[in-house]
Every structure is written in C-alpha cells, then in structure tokens.
Chain A
C-alpha cells in the first residue's frame, strides 16, 4: 500500500546561500521532488525607474551600475547608447573601441563569477569559486586602473567614456589577455568541463527547449544553450562589434551543463574580441562634449546590448526636459528567470538549486 503524504512547502530564500541575493522560491516538495514552485521577487526593489525621472540623464548613469552590479559596464553602455540614440550624439571612434574592450572585460568578469558560483551551487567546497574570483580580480584591477572603481564603475558617459585609459593600461591588458587568462581558461576546461560529478549534476538538469526559450523571450547563454544562435552583438551590432571577428557558441541540449560550457567558451571569444580591439584602437578624443544637463528632443528610443546575462535593453522616453520622462529597463535576469517553474518541477531540490545557479540571475537587476 503506498503511503500518502502531503507535499511540504519550503521557503528557499530570501535568506538562503544559493539564491544569489534576496530572491525567494516557495517550493512544494514531495520527498525530494519538487511539485510546484512559486517565485517571489521584489525584495531588492529600489525603485530605480521612478527615481530616474527626477534626475538628469547623466546623473542616471550610476543607477545602471547598481542594477547588474556584476556587469556594471554593460548597464552603463546600454543606457548611454539609448540616450545617444535619443539625443543624436556622435561617439568618437576611440571611445567606441574602449567601450568594446571594457564590455568584453566585464563579460569575462561576470562569466567568471557565474561559473564559479554555479559550481558552488553544485556543492563544491568553495574551490572553483576561488579560482574564478582570482581571475575576476585581475579584470577588476584593470577597471580600477582606468576609472578608480572596481565594481560600480560609472565609466561610460553620454558621448564617450569618462576617462582615457592610463599609460600602464595597455601593457597590463596585453599581459592579461595573452599570457594569463588563456591558460586560466584552459584550466577551467580541464577542471570543470570534464568533471564527471559536474556532468552528473548538470546534465539534463534545467532543460530549456527552443520553443520554451522563444516563448519566454529568453536571451543570452540561456537562449544559446537551447540551440538558437542569437546574440545582439551579431544581430543588432552596436559600437564597433560589426568589425570584430568572433564566434557564437551554441549548445545542443539546453541544460545547465551547456550553459556552463557556453559561458567558458564566451570568455575565450571575449579574449579574441579584446585582442582585435586593442590592435585596431585608434587615437583621438575619448569623449564628445555633451552638456551635463542634456535636453534631448522629445521622443523615445530603445537600445539593447548583449550583457553577460542576456539582452539588456533600455527604453528611454524624453519630453524635452532635462530628466527622462520615463525609463524602462528590460532586465535579462528577470526574463530568464521566468521559466524557472518549467525547468524545476519534477526535479529534486538539489536540481532546482543547480538550475537557479545556471540561469545566472543578479537580484540587483532582477528587482531594480
């Protein structure tokens, strides 16, 4: 006679080591299996979209740092692109190359963090995350060298970048890109990609089918793991990405493991882009002069960038005043998270944690 038992409701989060911030998952659990998942977001809501309506366009740039604080450069860039589009500001060539360099560095930093914490969610005792953080630190050192900040960089400006790179930047970057990180990524390949326990834990876990991915409007590694070749850098090139040669890694299975190896592969492709950008880096001004109290003409604009998490879009509406009339952010973390229920129901708690880790959410961006 089968024993009947009522499903137990468990709160995974908001205070949980593996929810990557204050995200809450209310899971109904039958034994070890998950029957139902309810997502509760909004614990980190800081009302940035409303706050921005009171501030000038330049004053809003630091908000974009604090959304996805692990990929501040991408947020900076997306916002500046949308305002430039609205105001019709020309960006100097050098600034465009610098933007590409810093965005790809940021992608490496963010993917390092994502890979490390993902393995931590698989249950490793901090070792992979320490290795990944070690490599992320080197990238952050370069940020500090250039703009003085490591995490919330506030580096992009409307019409360029805040500072030109210092003298010692290019040698340090050359060392990092050519002598250091390639070997580190080889190490990741050896330690993580071939690791059988990681395969056991991540294969066939959190599977996203192509239909699901398109219906939910997923983007970034989530979409590419499902087997759909889509990348804003190729599909809607911004800055000088159309001059760069790089490949888009695309997976077959749409599982957590594919997402991990896609991230590792994307870091290698980022190195390729940085090498080309450094090689072609022109001289010239790093910024066009734009009035601090910029008053773009009334209208609206949408600019999107391929942030490490996915398609990060900024929709800005101007009524001709010094502050945006309305500002909306298409946050990839939130939209990628929307398939969590389909991915986790029927799996175990351990799988749900691995799935959540592989989505690579950032709660700062999720709740804004």
Chain B
C-alpha cells in the first residue's frame, strides 16, 4: 500500500522526497508560456532562497528552545516549560522582549561599523546554506568550488566580530575581538587542511559531489577520514565561540567580550547568528563526513532532506553536549592546542591521503579492495596519532596527579601564656 502510493507520487511536483520537482514544474510552465530564460533562473532561485531562509529563520527561533531544553536536562533541571506546550513559545517571548528593548549605543562608539557588525555576522551564515545539498537535486547553488566558498564565507564571521569589538570602544569588547583574531589565525589552518583531506579523496570541491561520492562507494566519509572529522569538529567549535573555546565572549572573564555593548535586537542578531552558524556548521559536518542526505537504503523511503535535517540535529546535539559539559580553555592553551596538536595532525593526515589517492589512481586496483584497507589504515592512524600526541604533549599535571595529605591530628604550637582578663581592671575604658 505504502509502496504503491510512493510509486504514484514519484516524479510529480508534490513528491516530498524531491522538492526540486516543484521548481522544475514551474520552470516548465514558464518555458511553455514563452517566458525568457532569466525569468526561469530568477524564479527558481527565489523559490529555493525563500525555502532555505525560512528554514534558517525557523532554526534561529526553535534552536533557542532546543538548546535551553537540552542543556536544562543535562543540568538536572527542566528548562523552559511555562509558555506554551513544553515551553515551545519561550523563544517567541524572548524575541519580543529583545525587540522591545531600547538599542543603546555608546556615545564613543563608531556608529556605522557598530551597526554593520551584527548584520555582517549574520549574513555569511545564511550564504553558506546556499551551497548545501539539501537532497538529491536540491542544491540552490551547486558551486564547483563549494568547499572554497564555504571556507571563505565562514571566516568572514570573525571579521564581523572584530568590527563589533573595535567599534564599541570598550576594553572588554576589544579583548574579545583581539582573541577572535588570534583564534582565527590559528584555527583556519587545521580547518583548511582537514577539509583538504576530504576534497583530495573525493576529487571534487562541490558539496553535492562529495555526497555523491559517499553514495557511490557506500561509505561515510567519517570512516575514511576520522582524523579530519575530529580536527574539524574541535576547530570549528572554537570558531563558533562555543563553550570549550568561547574565549571571545568568555562571560566569566571579559563579560561577553565583543557583544558587551550591544543590546536589543542588535544583540539579538548576534545571538541568532550564533545559533544559525552552529546549525550551518552541523550541516557542513553532516554533508562532508556523514553522507548528507544519503543514508544507505533509507533515503529511498524517507525524503533526503529529512534525513539531512536529522543528521544536522544529531551533530548539533554533540555541540550542545560539549557546551553543557566542558569548562573553557585559556587562550594560550587554546592556541597551543591548534599549533601543537591540530596542525601537525592535519598535515600528517594530508600526506597520508595524498599517498592513498595516488595509489588508488595509479595502481588501478578496485575501490572495493582499496577502501576497506584505507578505512583500517586511517582509523589506526587516528587512534595512534591522538594517543601519541596525548602522551607526547601531555602537560605536567598529567605526570603529577592530584593528591592530598590527611592529618587526623595537628601540632598546635603553644602560645605564650596570657594573663586572665581582670573583670574589674581589664575592661574597657569607662564610658
């Protein structure tokens, strides 16, 4: 019954498994009516853009609830549960509150940049969603240089943070933005090198192509490339300013860092953009490493974009989990981590991948033979390097674990004898 229904709707515009049918249908209609080519292009582009932006807008609202609720559970409390069913209307109330608030701007702030910064921070995150493959044939802009675009756009966020911190004319904000720049310089390198491993393996920079590669060889990239997954996840959580590495806002140290001086909806934009960026990064991870919309046989039954969103929220849960669990690094430790740990590991992985790809192309051995071997080799390398770096670069504290002494009794030095207070003469001055 179910299958017959599926065969009926397959290929029609209302087939929810491939939403691009709708846009193709409209294109056909316009083409039949003799509409010009640019109109087809604009209409289908707008359709996709509206779909994606409404998804992202919904994400920015609902993720406030998701994050607070999940972290609430981790912190052995309930989280927001008063407004609406399960507290679902809480983000709406938050948004209304933020919009009502007065937008304050310090008199000494540099006005234009101060206003531009939150916008600059939000926009690149939305750009990134354009190149993501939401399903088969469901990419808005299928760029041949998708990964390059992704790297370029994602580092723009740091510039916006620097603009915000520098224009606020506040010392804490300046500290925050300087930290962001230091972190950007350090963490871009491992990120690029980690993604380069994936690009080398798949032979394409198109994100849709990377998913197709994983579908073709029926393997998730995380199996072939565990080390880049690990590196990318950690580096990107540093770039996202999430808790193990949120030194740029570091509430307990520099009081929110770059957004110290922001209030009202300008602050709301920063807040929303942070959630959007987290989801976009989860989407990138699920595209590059977890197969995107492809999931063995499941994507023939369930719409690919649903699988994709499921994976996105799976990865997003990992981000929330680390945020709810770990304390923050100090900035020098975080930068040392990037230079001493991540970068060498990424270089090592890159060299190995290059050799593996060379063997694959030159030897002519089948993928069925080579890929399992590569999976074994790369996973072994990941385990060995992580363990090796942990023991090689272990800080002093690991060699001297915590210990205490216990004293059931203590020595009390005998005090010189003090004459007992004479009640009559030793009292205070008579008042």
Contact = CB atoms under 8 A, between A and B. Distances in A.
B355 interface: no
B308 to A, nearest CB: 28
A121 interface: yes
Interface in B381-431: 395-398, 402-412, 421, 423-424, 426-428, 430-431
B414 to A, nearest CB: 11
Interface string A312-335: 000001111000011000000000
B300 interface: no
Contact of B427 (A17, A300, A351): A300
B423 A125 contact: no
B431 A319 contact: yes
Nearest to A352: B253
A247 B404 CA distance: 11
A130 B71 CA distance: 11
A248 B331 contact: no
- Of A8, A18, A131, most buried by chain B (CB within 10 Å of CB) is A18
A230 B410 contact: yes
Interface stretch (B18-26, B98-106, B243-251, B268-276): B243-251
Given A121-B252, A127-B324, A235-B412, A201 B243 contact: no
B332 interface: yes
B404 A265 contact: yes
A252 B405 contact: yes
Interface string A1-30: 000000010100000111000000000000
Given A234-B410, A319-B430, A131 B404 contact: no
Contacts of B324: 125, 127
- Of B71, B75, B77, most buried by chain A (CB within 10 Å of CB) is B75
A235 B407 CA distance: 12
A350 B423 contact: no
B10 interface: no
A127 B102 CA distance: 31
A130 B251 CA distance: 17
B149 interface: no
A17 B256 CA distance: 10
B75 A126 contact: yes
A249 B409 CA distance: 11
Contacts of B247: 350
Contacts of A126: 71, 75
B421 A300 contact: yes
Interface string A74-93: 00000000000000000000
Contacts of A134: 76
A252 B403 contact: yes
A124 to B, nearest CB: 4
A267 to B, nearest CB: 13
Given A130-B76, A199-B397, A18 B252 contact: yes
Contact of A119 (B327, B396, B404): B327
A41 to B, nearest CB: 20
A177 interface: no
A275 interface: no
Given A8-B171, A229-B407, A298 B328 contact: no
B374 interface: no
A22 to B, nearest CB: 15
B392 to A, nearest CB: 15
Interface string A192-208: 01011111110110000
A132 to B, nearest CB: 11
A8 B255 CA distance: 17
B428 A120 contact: no
Nearest to A257: B402
B265 to A, nearest CB: 23
B175 A349 contact: yes
- Of B77, B330, B410, B427, most buried by chain A (CB within 10 Å of CB) is B330
A250 B404 contact: yes
Given A18-B252, A130-B75, A261-B402, A32 B331 contact: yes
B64 interface: no
Contact of A130 (B77, B253, B328, B424): B77
A123 interface: yes
Contacts of A320: 427
A235 B246 CA distance: 45
A276 interface: no
A326 B429 CA distance: 11
5 contacts: A197-B328, A198-B327, A246-B408, A265-B404, A350-B330
Interface of B: 71, 74-77, 171-172, 175, 243-244, 246-247, 250-255, 323-333, 395-398, 402-412, 421, 423-424, 426-428, 430-431
Given A123-B253, A197-B327, 12 more contacts: A32-B175, A123-B243, A197-B329, A201-B327, A227-B405, A248-B406, A248-B408, A261-B402, A298-B423, A299-B421, A348-B330, A353-B252
Question: What are the 5 closest A-B residue pairs judged by CB atoms, nearest first?
Answer: A123-B328, A298-B427, A130-B75, A247-B406, A124-B327
